A and B are shown apart, each in its own frame.
Chain A
Amino acid sequence: MGFLDYAPAPESTSILNLKKSYGLFIGGEFVEGSGPAFATVSPSSEETITMIAQANDADVDKAVVAARGAFSKTWSKMPGSERGKYLFRIARLIQERSRELAIAESLDNGKPIRETRDVDIPLVAAWFFYYAGWADKLEYAGVGNNPQALGVAAQVVPWNFPLLMLAWKIAPALAAGNTVVLKPAETTPLTALLFAEICQQAELPAGVVNIITGAGATGAALVGHPDINKVAFTGSTAVGRGIARNLAGTNTRVTLELGGKGANIIFDDAAIDQAIEGIISGIFFNQGHVCCAGSRLLVQENIHDDVMNRLQSRLSTLRLGDPLDKNTDIGAVNSKAQLDRITEIANSGEAEGATRWSAPCELPAKGFWFPPTVFTNVQTSHRIARDEIFGPVLSVLTFRTPDEAVAKANNTPYGLSAGIWTEKASRMLAIADKLRAGVIWANTFNKFDPASPFGGYKESGYGREGGRHGLAAYLESGNLKGGAK
């Protein structure tokens, strides 16, 4: 055993007290789904965790009816201060059950316990705390003197940060006085259902939060339901486009958090060792399953070889394996389908002439795994430089001047995130002004906070989540109604 080899340190799953099957959470109760139940599996072992109900169109309708009833009878009439107290209760319950939620999330999603324990779940609690305090202060949210809730929000979240994305959606919606029907991703429904139990423990009025599970058809039925007032979707640009098209001409408000192809720009005066850590957290955090990932590395030409050497040396020390092991850096890819997609695009990189390097790590026999991979000699026309891979694959390009860096960074239909690494603040600010992206991390990457608005330019979607701007996405006031934003 070398000094970098650690003994296994798995987190025990004994804290989990999972049921054999989970129903839909509608009107404050777990009810049977009408569609065929499906298994949610652990991507690191391919073993079934539990069975999940599938909502069909009639179930979706029941959930919307429950949300509408709770909105008109209870939630919209309750003073903001009382709504806020429910959110504070939920935040506390999440903190109390944080280890259990972290383990369930790692088991269901495949991401390392280090991330769910230290990033996902603390942020979930923080999100509810932050928006709890807004519930009785809506007139300060900057949308006018008489802000009003929109009504029923249909919310569809992805599998990359299952419970965190739920918190991003539900906390501001409830604080603003809306009721919600939320559909978690097909492959990661577990923590949303534990959250439903938390809503029961918090004695949240029935129907304020409804959780329905299922695949794409369930989500389509939800966002296409005629009695919703708001759609909040996080997921692929292709699905987002379809939602925008289907809702054209309606009064339904829309927020879309879609794909990205973020540029992480390293100038030659950057603190290189910190930049290496930033590159890694930019693209290898959460196995690269991050819409705002820094998947395109733009390195100033004169430091390219040095950065590559240090990056490869650092990547070689990352530990890939059991997501529940406290020493694991890289967990499992969330599903077979996603692994196939990553493999296919990565193969196109080689076919198009880029040079592939993968970290020398042993992949477990069972489960879905992809080693941290870096492509050099990448051209801007390559698929790996244009398409969102949503996996641990980094495409490296070079630049000589700041103008070239900006031109290359902006050369994408996406505009979600970007990173800048330089010790020169004046350069950082000038580059940040010119980048067409909604979130820019300077000398850091992939930081999230409930007080900080998040969302994209261009085809990365519209609307913001987080901060008072995230609250405004669930409020209306004044003459400017509707709009695809």
Chain B
Amino acid sequence: MSRLNIPKTYKLFIGGKFPRSESGHTYEVTSSKGTFIANAALASRKDARDAVVAARSAQAGFAGLTAYNRGQILYRIAEVLEGRREQFVSEIVTSEGVRTGSANKQVDDAIDTWVWYAGWADKYAQVLGNGNPVSGPFFNLSTPDPTGVVVSLAPQGAQSQSLLGITSVVAPIIASGNTVVVVAHHTQPLSAISFAEVLATSDVPGGVVNILTGDPAPIMPWLAAHADVNALDLCGGADLEWVSWTQDAAETLKRVLPPHDGIPAKELARLGFFTELKTVWHTKALG
């Protein structure tokens, strides 16, 4: 007689913990063939606000780590992801309806993306910053600082690769010391929550990455208008109300990266977009 398996309860990931939605709402996640896989938490606007609070609380501490340490934390994510490859492959095959080879390729790409951005953590400041030769007795240095709390909408749509999608938006945001509230792929959220387990067992401090599952439409306007959010990455928003969210964001002059078609490439400019250049002048003695 075969043993009855134990299905997982998929919850949100906020402040390093796995809460259910405070609303008590869930939604059905189905396979590509339409069969029931799981009930995922349907994040509410209160969950979104809680996630922003968690992200804000973690931001200064995370940005205050050495760049070398942050690079190691990102690399550790790649290590743990590699170790749990089979779980992700099986989840991707079930929910995205792709073959094992293609699922493996997606996990490879996600791991490589983490490694690529991990390497940038202690280098981007050298490439994006500058020592400035001003006319006068001053030391003058420009360095990129993390923008703060970023809200990101992971790539959506039928062709989006859910694990690679969330990786490609989250890694460049946190590499510089930002914290993030990311809204996962709406209909394929399972690998995002399994990915939260990777984060929870890597060395990522609680609150650095917060993952919401559910319908982006009702929660994004609240996040776009939230006064304690510094920037929006509307990557997966092309078919949604992204223009209206950009207008909401104008009220607090948030930095807004418009939607991207498909999975964003690994790009230093994406990391750089979520930084602020800080220029420090200091006098030099004349004699």
Contacts and interface: CB of A to CB of B under 8 A. Distances in A.
Interface of A: 126, 142-144, 237, 240-242, 244-245, 248-249, 256, 258, 413, 415, 425, 428, 432, 434, 436-444, 447, 449, 451-455, 457-462, 464, 467-469, 478-485
Interface of B: 60, 127-128, 130, 132-136, 138, 140, 142, 145, 147-148, 227, 230, 242-244, 246-247, 249-258, 264-265, 267, 269-270, 273, 276-283
Contact of A245 (B247, B278, B283): B247
A469 B277 contact: yes
B255 A483 contact: yes
A415 B230 CA distance: 12
B142 A469 contact: yes
A183 B212 CA distance: 45
B189 to A, nearest CB: 26
Nearest to B128: A142
Contacts of A442: 280-283
B242 A469 contact: no
B138 A468 contact: no
8 contacts: A248-B256, A436-B148, A439-B281, A441-B281, A442-B281, A444-B282, A458-B253, A484-B254
Nearest to A455: B277
A350 B148 CA distance: 36
Contacts of B276: 415, 438, 457
B281 A440 contact: yes
A126 B130 contact: no
B253 A459 contact: yes
Given A447-B138, A451-B134, A241 B282 contact: no
Contacts, number: 140
A432 B143 CA distance: 11
B131 to A, nearest CB: 10
Given A244-B249, A432-B278, 11 more contacts: A245-B250, A245-B251, A248-B243, A258-B253, A443-B282, A444-B138, A457-B278, A469-B277, A483-B257, A484-B250, A485-B255
Nearest to B254: A484
B233 to A, nearest CB: 10
Contact of A443 (B127, B135, B269, B283): B283
A363 to B, nearest CB: 34
B278 A479 contact: no
Given A441-B281, A447-B138, A241 B253 contact: yes
Contacts of A455: 277
Contacts of A249: 242-243, 246-247, 258
Main secondary structure of the interface of B (DSSP, over half): mixed
B280 A241 contact: no
A413 B252 CA distance: 8
Contacts of B148: 436
Nearest to B63: A433
Given A142-B128, A444-B138, A449-B140, A464 B243 contact: no
Contacts of A479: 264-265, 267, 269
Of residues B132, B136, B264, B270, which shows the largest number of chain A Cβ atoms within 10 Å of its Cβ? Answer: B132
A471 to B, nearest CB: 11
A480 B254 contact: no
A399 B58 CA distance: 25
Contacts of A478: 267, 269
A-B complex: 6 closest residue pairs judged by Cβ atoms: A249-B243, A248-B246, A244-B250, A449-B134, A245-B250, A480-B269
Contacts of A437: 278
Nearest to A434: B60
Contact of B135 (A126, A413, A438, A484): A126
Contacts of A244: 249-250, 253
A256 B253 contact: yes
Nearest to B270: A480
B62 to A, nearest CB: 14
B247 A248 contact: yes
Contacts of A237: 253
A451 B273 CA distance: 21
Contacts of B246: 248-249, 484
Of residues A237, A242, A245, which shows the largest number of chain B Cβ atoms within 10 Å of its Cβ? Answer: A245
B279 A440 contact: yes
Nearest to B232: A484
Given A452-B140, A458-B230, A440 B251 contact: no
A483 B258 contact: yes
Contacts of B140: 449, 451-452
A428 B276 CA distance: 20
Contacts of A461: 253
Nearest to A454: B279
A458 B265 CA distance: 27
Contacts of A454: 279
Nearest to B134: A449
Contacts of A432: 278, 280
Contacts of B270: 480
A452 B142 CA distance: 8
A258 B250 CA distance: 13
A144 B127 CA distance: 12
Given A444-B138, A478-B269, A439 B279 contact: yes
A453 B282 CA distance: 15
A240 B279 CA distance: 22
A444 B284 CA distance: 10
Of residues A242, A248, A415, which shows the largest number of chain B Cβ atoms within 10 Å of its Cβ? Answer: A248
A11 B138 CA distance: 32
Given A437-B278, A443-B283, A467-B132, A241 B255 contact: no
A398 B287 CA distance: 33
